[in-house]
Structure 1
């Protein structure tokens, strides 16, 4: 499909009624007690954490969330858990271009990592969930993902499990509720963090933290490759949405944020992911089209795929072969620690 045809198709879509705005969520930074529970590694800034005012972090809630996160009983046929697509053994992704849900049904987008979602408000590639709590509710009743016919069905199922009733009563003072499930899972996910990478140690002036090639790569990252136009700050993301040209190769593209806002300015935009642990969380892009970091670098070097809505930040880079190699080796310096301690429970409530 040529750009003129795509643009005409999009203009028709833009006339459609926009989606209802998501409810606002009030966020705050963690208390001293919550900071102790989070135990953030070097390089992370607690002042930028996004914790809903109505969902304080407690030790008991973290553990309840961990149980729910790994429990396949939240799916229709007891085969899919949150951890199926966001697997701690795979950097809290699933290592697939797009995720496979219940009955091996195939989704339309790659599973983004859970790592450092503590510092993020809007969730999903298209930002349709305003918080981790709202995000946690979605996959349960998605017919491709966990397949439950309704939230009531999963809540009744969990309420039939005495161990969960007891834990919910202890944490929330209630029986199992949908809000409680979402709050517990989100609380656990906020503890999935990564810091103390070689890059963090270099930033902290620790001698020998990164190699000479990685130092050269960092300079390219900041300057010629223009990566910090979007991958900025300590979490290496601006938490904004951009059209970088992925999927505009001659067929109908995924329209991304536009499908949620119906605003032309949002056409083909997707959320900037963190680059922390990027070497451990492939494949890359919202559709998982690139298996390697080198493929990603080559994509940006050629200026993405042209389209009428391409962000102005996306330009040809003209990197040399050596610069590409140095940039790639620098990206490996962003692999940190913290999330590796989050493992599945040995047993579940009965």
Structure 2
């Protein structure tokens, strides 16, 4: 006769032992995965020399391979939101060049953000973040969407506590920071490390600059128009874009009123500075992957590149704070707007389409690692 069938205490002890051994196995498996599957050491940030070396990396948050790995996990981690459904990747989707295709984005409470989600690309060189530039550095920027009640809506202390209760995150934080303590500061630092790796530098325009691509006639003309200021008295036609979007990164850290409204509903950086001259001034966004980041402007009012070009060509609204770069710039003598020809608009857009970097939006190093993990479990 099997004595265990008649000994409830013995059965409970056996079950407890099995559960204990299973727990140990899970923990060891997690550590083996971390020890064997994650590279460690300094992260080599690769970018073209013409991008320049004025990069922004805080001394207290050096970029490491293990830090980038953790940051990527956290970028796509829905536990960082109050309802466990939203991550950074919800509003910044890789196939849309890390935007979300919406004018405004819904948060955990379904309330829409007041401004359009900006593309996350080539942030390594940026110093000011958000449309009004209110954040100094990626670490400061990351706090707002994580904690805003209308975005991810969760205190960093709560996020840290949630991650502490998981199997893998304590070991990951130990790999990055030397101990398994999870804090809000460490969360934002890791996310920032990952975001600094989001470098786009392999568009057809980049290939052209390094002599590996021959643009079409329309693309070449578009490049010329983009980089030329009009001088009608000399017969020189241009689209006057490079004042704000010049250089190989198509980005300069400037803030401008670009003539969207004569009386802006959104005051822009005037809210921060209190200066009337700053009314309606916003950060100039990069044009990298611009064909993928519709809708456009801080309020997502334009759905197509054609609408954007038409705005600058014919529909600039005059105001006291209108950018000086846009005042009196015209292809017609005495004109108040560019007045581009129909063919010139098409040529300009042909160039803008050259800025799409297909390798950037398909790079597996930037993708959601949780989806890969789920896929592997199914097989």
Distance 1:84 1:44, change over 3 A: farther
C-alpha displacement at 1:231, in angstroms? 0.4
Partner of 1:127: 133
Mapping 1:256-275, distance limit 5 Å:
256-275=268-287
Partner of 1:38: 45
Candidates 212, 236, 248, aligned match of 1:234: 248
Give the alignment's TM-score, normalised by structure 2. 0.78
Mapping 1:21-170, distance limit 5 Å:
37-40=44-47, 42=48, 45=51, 47-148=53-154, 150-170=155-175
Q: How far apart are the structure 1 equivalents of 2:240 and 2:194?
A: 34
CA contact (8 A) 2:95 2:361 kept: no
C-alpha displacement at 1:100, in angstroms? 1.5
CA contact (8 A) 2:251 2:287 kept: yes
Q: How far apart are the structure 1 equivalents of 2:361 and 2:123?
A: 11
Point out the structure with max Rg over C-alpha: 2
Candidates 299, 303, 312, aligned match of 1:287: 299
Partner of 1:338: 360
C-alpha displacement at 1:249, in angstroms? 5.7
Candidates 176, 179, 184, aligned match of 1:178: 184
C-alpha displacement at 1:164, in angstroms? 1.3
Q: How far apart are the structure 1 equivalents of 2:175 and 2:50?
A: 31
Q: Cα deviations across residues 78-120 of structure 1 (Å, max 9, x unaligned)?
A: 0110000001122100000111211432111110011111111
Candidates 215, 221, 227, aligned match of 1:222: 227
CA contact (8 A) 2:96 2:361 kept: no
Deviates more, 1:254-263 or 1:225-234: 254-263
CA contact (8 A) 1:243 1:268 kept: yes
Q: How far apart are the structure 2 equivalents of 1:232 and 1:46?
A: 13
C-alpha displacement at 1:281, in angstroms? 1.1
Partner of 2:34: none
CA contact (8 A) 1:283 1:290 kept: yes
In structure 2, list runs of 5 or more residues that go unmatched: 1-40, 229-237, 328-336, 375-379
Give the alignment's TM-score, normalised by structure 1. 0.84
C-alpha displacement at 1:49, in angstroms? 2.0
Higher relative contact order, structure no. (Cα contacts within 8 Å, ≥ 6 residues apart) = 1
Candidates 324, 327, 344, aligned match of 1:323: 344
1:277 is aligned to 2:277: no
Q: How far apart are the structure 1 equivalents of 2:255 and 2:108?
A: 29
C-alpha displacement at 1:151, in angstroms? 2.4
Superposition misfits of 4+ residues, deviation over 4 angstroms:
none
Partner of 1:5: none
